[in-house]
Structure 1
Amino acid sequence: MKWKIGSLEIHTRPCQKSDKDFVLGLIKKTLFSYVAKYYKPSVKMFDDRFAKDYKERKILLRGKRRIGFFQLKKVNKKLIINGLFLSPNYQGKGIGKFIMTYFEKFAHKNKLKNIELQVWDNNPAKDFYKKNGYKIVLRKNHKYTMSKEIK
């Protein structure tokens, strides 16, 4: 996929095993501080998960530079966002909002009823999702499940 977001041209490609260090580095940079409030983040757990599901991820690129990644899964009549991560230098530029809108169009086109994601309760991304129409439908331990109905 190729997108023009403001003055930025972004495209995607499938995640490869060679992206592991980039993906882990971005997760460490953007998520581990929230997780660390409750648990010691586990690199081994990440390694195991990456080996199992890296093919489900898409890498976001600006030119040849990797700037983020996302992971989606269709389950029943839901689109599950298993992750949307952007490098800090690319946050606040409309990329996340654009991609979330793309996810909504994808869900609508595929006749999915809603989009669901999980976010740590101390992660400011929760407010981003709320602004984009997502509602908290469940709180379990330190995570919120958020959902948006697709019409």
Structure 2
Amino acid sequence: MTFQLRRTSPEDLAFARSLTCQNMLRYYIQHDLLWQDDAFDVAWSGRESWLICRDEVAIGFFSLSRDARALYIRELQIAEAFQGQGAGSWAIDQVIEIASKERRPALRLTVFENNPAKNLYQRKGLQLQGKDECFLRMELDLRTPVL
């Protein structure tokens, strides 16, 4: 299975918002949080985002932000029909490559504590760094050379 990345354009906002809401609304409800389209749109505008495509069809996306300490995955969403087919794992590999090329010391993300995606992140080497109300903070230290 081959995947491709494509830089997002403003026209991709509706797809990304809809996909994120579809995938994440259950967690928002379970943790008594309020989903807000406007908040997603504001966050989207300040992030670097990439579509994950298979055969020219968008099946997901990821959004990134940066500071001196790390590259952050702010969103990683795969359409339900394509989950479990390697797209998420492939996307994380792409992000690790970006972080390495930029010489970022770490890759970081947060995930709902009850989201099974945390297992994928652990398999990809991210380790638990802490816990907030309903989120796990995870990190991959990129300063340590892999043997």
Give yes or no for TM over 0.5: yes
Equivalent of 2:109 in 88, 92, 117: 117
Contact residue 119 and residue 143 of structure 1 kept, 8 A: yes
Deviates most, 36-45 or 24-33: 36-45
Total equivalences in the alignment: 142
Residue number in structure 1 paired with 2:87: 95
Partner of 1:3: none
1:1-150 equivalence runs, <5 A: 7-8=1-2, 10-38=3-31, 39-50=33-44, 52-53=45-46, 56-150=48-142
CA distance in 2, matches of 1:103, 1:20: 20
Q: SS state of the match for residue 35, structure 2?
A: coil
The CA deviation string for residues 90-129 of structure 1, in whole angstroms up to 9 with x for no partner, is 2111121122122223322322221100111121111111
Q: Following TM superposition, by how much is the alpha carbon of 1:77 offset from its aligned partner in structure 2, in angstroms?
A: 3.6
Unaligned runs of 5+ in 1: 1-6
Structure 1 runs (4+) deviating above 4 angstroms are none
Q: TM-score, normalised by structure 1?
A: 0.83
**TM-score in terms of structure 2 length:** 0.85
* Per-residue CA distance 1:26-82 (angstroms, 9 max, x = gap): 0011111111112121223223333x326x111122233211111122310411111
User: Which blocks of at least 5 consecutive residues in structure 2 are unaligned?
Assistant: none
**Matches of 1:85 and 1:64 in 2, distance apart?**
17
SS in 1 for 2:100: helix
Q: Distance between the aligned counterparts of 1:84 and 1:120, measured in 2?
A: 12
